[in-house]
Amino acid sequence: MSGRSLRYLAGALTLLTATVATAQPFEVPPPPAPPRPLAIAAPVEQVLPNGLRVIVARREGVPLVTAMLVVLSGSELDPPQLSGLASMTASLLTQGTRKRSGPEIAAAAEALGGSLESGAGWGQSLVAITVTTPRLDAALGLVAEVTREPTFAPAELERIRNQTLDALKVSYADPGTVAGLTAARLAYGSGAWGHPADGTPASLPRIKRADLVALHRLAFRPDRAVLILSGDIGPEQGDLLAGRHFGNWAAPVGVAPPRPPTPPTLTDGPAVAVVDMPAAGQAGVVLALPLPPRVGAERAAADVLDAVLGGGYSSRLSQEVRIKRGLSYAVHSRIEARGRNGLFLAALQTKNESAVEVVALLKAELDRVMQAPVPADELASRKLSLIGGFSRSVETTAGLASAIRSLVATERAPGELKTRIAAIEAVESADVQRYAAAHFGATGRRLAVAGAAQRFAESLKAEAPGLVVIAQPQLDLERADGLRRD
């Protein structure tokens, strides 16, 4: 009730008299009961003779299973001129095999009750489906077929290429998406990790069928793949089904597995870029910060730091930007994996006129977490929030499979599922500050703002000397040089 004006208070009393008089005599919230700990079963891993890892994570109580085949390489393998190759290759897996056409595959999967998804990301390509338990055998047959025997028919390539080019038109009209793509280029420069994983209008037309076939032959092999089965299934059944559908999948002879490039942690080039989109209804703001491999307990410290800054409504960025000032509907941060490295991202959208103010708030919060320890009560609540979010994420079969996928795609043990809560609980305030001081300094920060530049670019120049302004139609995400133009 603090700070309310008398004028409105009078109105409130008139209308709420009846309820205020009698309702809710309890002035303080009742305390919680003793906690009931979450037990996450350790996934069971087996390896088939051909090298395929099979990881089974049982979750009982619902007759559903998620089947996910993960190949441990993705968009980081795209050659410099062929941004989008891994993504296009994964998309085409479900668009025709030696046995079935694309429409036949979709109809078969959907008759089982699931949608057959395929796609590529950083360090991974995957095929996945969720079905009721009795349909798992048939569903795994489809997963194996599209993984092992895609035909990459030229007509399907043309169709997916045109659809992806159309999708880019939509992406490039969205200020939040444009800011994100630009920030990645600023963070990683011209190297493999800075390009748009979905490709560019220039790169997509260059991709040929032979490129897809070659990438598939190089990367899709049992000794670089993991089959994850989560839900209503045990290890014996998992092993049996994996053997049935993947047992005779042979690794290519004389082809070495791909070696992913190492992401840089510091790049030359501009630290700040503005993409001018005069018709944009808001400005998209993305701050990116490349992180080196997080070793041992450092990983949990980095995750707690991320939660303090931008996890949930109560995070510092949300407090400053949304709750205190009403400058954005949502502001969040996250750490994404880039191989063994990480990329910290903080993103929001705001009215064009407020872009400079939110940029200053983002910087101030990054500075603050480097300079002063996180108070004990804030640390405790952010840790619980992080633990709760993790616990809820593994409540579904698909969530459980994704949690395991994130681990294997970054060369971590699936057993970390079981130890993650304890690792977060062990983080202390000093760990968070030490990590922030070491890695969140101004040198690594990269900032992209996409929006109606005439309403903020001049003021932003005062904050960021050397600021580059690029008109959206001239934005060239093919190379980092594309961000140097004025």
Residues 75-134 touching another protein, rule: CB under 8 A, are: 94, 102-103, 106-107, 109-116, 130-134
Nearer to another protein by C-beta: 321 or 370? 321
Residue 396 CB, nearest approach to another protein (Å): 5
Question: What residues from 457 to 476 belong to the interface with another protein (CB under 8 A)?
Answer: none
Rounded least distance, CB 427 to another protein, Å: 15
Cβ neighbour number for residue 218 with a 10 Å cutoff: 16
Strand partners, 342: 291, 337
Per-residue contact track with another protein, 328 to 367, x per CB under 8 A? xxx------------------xxx----------------
18 in contact with another protein (CB under 8 A): yes
Minimum CB separation of residue 92 from another protein in Å reads 13
30 binds another protein (CB under 8 A): yes
Nearer to another protein, 179 or 370 (CB): 179
Q: Give the residue from 225, 228, 226, 147 showing the smallest Cα distance to 394.
A: 228
User: Do residues 74 and 120 make contact, with C-beta atoms less than 8 angstroms apart?
Assistant: yes
Residue 112: how many CA atoms within 13 Å on its side-chain side? 27
Least distance from C-beta 444 to another protein, angstroms?
28
Beta bridge partners of 471: 276
Q: Who contacts 107 (Cβ-Cβ below 8 Å, separation ≥6)? A: none
Q: CB neighbours (10 Å) of residue 334? A: 16
- Binding window for another protein (CB under 8 A); candidates: 58-66, 184-192, 209-217, 287-295: 58-66
Which one of residues 42, 47, 99, 163 is an interface residue with another protein (CB under 8 A)?
Answer: 163
Closest approach, Cβ 233 to another protein, in A, equals 9
Q: In the set 79, 137, 239, 340, which binds another protein (CB under 8 A)?
A: 137
Read off the tokens for 347. Answer: 């993103």
Q: Which stretch binds another protein (CB under 8 A): 71-79, 287-295, 312-320, 334-342?
A: 312-320
Instruction: Strand 341-350: give its sheet, edge to edge.
Output: 331-338, 341-350, 283-291, 446-451, 272-276, 468-471
* Binding test (CB under 8 A) with another protein, winner from 79, 381, 455, 461: 381
CB of 340 to another protein, least distance (A): 29
Q: What are phi and psi of 373, to 5 degrees?
A: -65, 150
Instruction: With CB under 8 A as the rule, give the number of residues binding another protein.
Output: 107
Q: Which H or E element spans position 448?
A: strand 446-451
Q: Is residue 179 within 8 Å of 446, Cβ to Cβ?
A: no
Minimum Å gap between C-beta 61 and another protein is 5
- Sheet arrangement for strand 117-121: 44-47, 53-58, 225-231, 64-71, 124-132, 117-121
d(CA 376, CA 39): 26
Q: Of residues 41, 153, 165, 251, which one binds another protein by CB under 8 A?
A: 165
**What residues between 384 and 443 interact with another protein by CB under 8 A?**
384-385, 387-389, 391-392, 395-398
Residues 21, 27, 28: CA angle, nearest 5 degrees: 160
**Alpha carbons 292 and 441: distance in angstroms, whole number:** 13
Nearest to 301 by CA among 432, 439, 412: 432
By three-state DSSP, how is residue 253 classified?
Answer: coil
Does 253 bind another protein (CB under 8 A)? Our answer is no
| Binding region for another protein (CB under 8 A) out of 28-36, 338-346, 429-437, 477-485 | 28-36
Q: What minimum distance in Å lies between the beta carbon of 449 and another protein? A: 13
Residue with Cβ nearer another protein (22 or 443): 22
